Copies of this chain bind each other. A is one copy, B any other.
Amino acid sequence: MVMMKAAVFAEPGRIVLDDKPIPDVGPLDALIRITTTTICGTDIHILKGEYPVARGLTIGHEPVGIIEKLGSAVSGYREGQRVIAGAITPSGHSNACLCGCHSQDGAGTKHGWKPLGGWRFGNTIDGCQADYLLVPDAMTNLAPVPDDLTDEEVLMCPDIMSTGFAGAERGDIRIGDTVAVFAQGPIGLCATAGAKLKGATTIIAVDAVPARMEMARRMGADHVVNFREADPVAEIMRLTGGRGVDVAIEALGTQATFEAALRVLRPGGTLSSLGVYSGDLRIPLGPFAAGLGDHTIVTSLCPGGKERMRRLMAVVASGRVDLKPLVTHRFTLERIEEAYDLFGHQRDGVLKVAITP
Contact = CB atoms under 8 A, between A and B. Distances in A.
A345 interface: no
Contacts of A104: 266-268, 293-294
Contact of A169 (B102, B139, B175, B285): B175
Given A116-B289, A201-B320, A277-B290, 14 more contacts: A27-B72, A95-B307, A95-B310, A98-B140, A98-B307, A111-B242, A114-B267, A177-B311, A198-B198, A278-B285, A283-B283, A289-B301, A293-B301, A294-B298
Nearest to A296: B298
Copies of the chain in the assembly: 4
Contacts of A294: 101, 103-104, 298-301
A267 B96 contact: yes
A122 interface: no
Interface of A is mostly: loop
21 contacts: A73-B73, A93-B93, A93-B139, A96-B268, A98-B102, A98-B140, A98-B305, A101-B267, A103-B292, A103-B294, A104-B266, A110-B241, A110-B242, A110-B243, A116-B267, A177-B311, A201-B311, A274-B291, A275-B291, A283-B283, A297-B297
Interface of A: 26-28, 72-73, 75-76, 91-93, 95-104, 107-108, 110-117, 137, 139-140, 165, 168-169, 174-178, 194, 196-199, 201-202, 222, 241-244, 253, 266-268, 273-285, 288-301, 305-308, 310-312, 314-315, 317-318, 320
Nearest first, the 3 closest Cβ-Cβ pairs linking A and B are A176-B311, A92-B92, A104-B267
Contact of A292 (B96, B140, B301): B301
Nearest to A307: B98
Given A222-B318, A241-B111, A268-B96, A285 B277 contact: yes
